[in-house]
Amino acid sequence: MTQQKLAEQALRSSEARYRLLADHSSDLIARHGIDGRWIYLSPAARAILGFDAEALVGLDPFEFIHADDRGRCLLMLRNLVSSGQEQSATYRVRRADGRHVWLESKAKPVFDSLSGAVVEVVVTSRDVSERIEATRKLRRREADLAHAERLGTMGQMASEMAHELNQPLYAIANFADACLERIQQQPPPGASEREELNRWILQIAQQARRAGDVVRRVTKFVRKGDLDRESLDLNRCIQEASVLLELCGRSKEIDIEYDLASGLPPVVADRLLIEQVLLNLVRNGAEAMEDLSDRERRLTIRTFQAEPETVGVAVSDRGSGLPAEHLCRLFEPYFTTKADGTGMGLAICRSTIEAHAGRIWAQNNSDGGATFLFVLPVPPLDRQHGA
CB atoms within 10 A of CB 190: 8
State the residue number with the nearest CB to ligand ADP.
345
341/377 with CB nearer ligand ADP: 341
* CA distance linking residue 54 with residue 52, whole number of Å: 6
Any residues with CB less than 8 A from the CB of 132 and at least 6 apart, and which? 90, 102
Cis, bond preceding 187 (omega within 30 deg of 0): yes
Per CB under 6 A, which of residues 308..347 are in contact with ligand ADP? 317, 319-320, 322, 326, 330, 335-338, 341-347
- Which three-class secondary structure state does DSSP give residue 55? helix
Contacts of 100 (CB under 8 A, 6+ apart): 66, 92, 93, 94
Contact 205, 198 (CB under 8 A): no
Bond before 109 cis per omega within 30 degrees: no
| Closer to ligand ADP by Cβ: residue 141 or 326 | 326
In the complex, the smallest distance separating the C-beta of residue 153 from ligand ADP, rounded to whole angstroms, is 18
Interacting residues with ligand ADP between 142 and 181 (CB under 6 A): none
* Residue choice 105, 125, 276, 284 for contact with ligand ADP (CB under 6 A): 284
From the CB of 302, what's the least distance to ligand ADP, in Å? 15
| Separation CA 10–CA 18 (nearest Å) | 12
CB of 345 to ligand ADP, least distance (A): 3
At closest approach, how far in Å is the CB of 319 from ligand ADP?
A: 5
The binding track of 340-379 with respect to ligand ADP, each residue x by CB under 6 A or -, is: -xxxxxxx----------------------x---------
In whole angstroms, the minimum distance from the beta carbon of 370 to ligand ADP comes to: 4
**3-class secondary structure, 235:** helix
Query: Cβ distance 303 to 312 under 8 Å?
Result: yes
Rounded distance, CA 12 to CA 220, Å? 74
304 near ligand ADP, judged by CB under 6 A: no
The residue among 53 and 349 lying less far from ligand ADP, judged by its C-beta, is 349
User: Is the distance from CB of 286 to CB of 300 less than 8 angstroms?
Assistant: no
x/- letters, 94..133, toward ligand ADP (CB under 6 A): ----------------------------------------
Contacts with ligand ADP, residue ranges (CB under 6 A)? 280, 284-285, 288, 317, 319-320, 322, 326, 330, 335-338, 341-347, 370
